[in-house]
Amino acid sequence: MPPAKDVEKRFLTQLSANLVSLPFDLKVLYEASVEPNLERAALEVATGAIVYIISPNDIISDKNEAIGYTDDVILLRLALKQIVAVGGSEAGAFRDRFAEVYDNLDAELEIYKDFFGDLYTWLEGKIAQLSKQIFKGKTVKDYLDDEEATAFLYEEGLRFTTDYRVTERSLEGRLKRTDHIVELLKRRRAEEAKRIG
């Protein structure tokens, strides 16, 4: 059964805003990945999420390139929530430092949950796997423990944000239908299940 019109409208509005802000939100993950006052588990979540987002293998291909980042904007928010959950006694201070992102986080995730249902649950399940991400032959542990690898990941993030072409203007009139977004994520989930199975 398709989602109700108001749920769909809230979803498209939220997705549009989050797609535009993705490069800026990604910087918060980079800050978390090098934050000395956060527990190691939080650093691994942050670094794994960075790898997931900037990895070219992750892009869901479609004529409308922007919707290929749908899973990224949701996963980024799930990761930010997890960082605070496992970050230890100083996680609250980190959250306060980026209050402009964190203040609306739960409300934004609720919109995605309402719209996607079981697809949202699938994306939530990816959080536990973030520390196992591999990018350009290096693991999350490598990116955390090797200064050269850390610098390389930072450079790759800069390249990603420079090449990222989604703007308010580019989205004008492009995000009207949701069925193709749902289909792309379903296809992605099926491909993943095939690889694992």
| pLDDT tens digits for range 131-176 | 999 999 999 999 999 999 999 999 999 999 999 999 999 898 888 8
Predicted TM-score of the model (pTM):
0.93
Question: What is 153-185 written as a DSSP string?
Answer: HHHHHHHHHHH----HHHHTTT----HHHHHHH
Q: What share of the chain is helix, strand, coil (3-state, %, to 5)?
A: 75, 0, 20
Half-sphere exposure of 31 (CA within 13 A, CB side): 15
Distance CA 69, CA 64 (A): 10
Tell me the percentage of the chain whose pLDDT exceeds 90: 79
pLDDT tops 90 at residue 1: no
Under the banding of pLDDT at 50, 70 and 90, the label for residue 57 is low
pLDDT at 62: 45
Asked if residue 90 lies in contact with residue 37, where contact means CB atoms within 8 angstroms, the answer is: yes
H-run or E-run covering 134: strand 134-135
Half-sphere exposure of 121 (CA within 13 A, CB side): 2
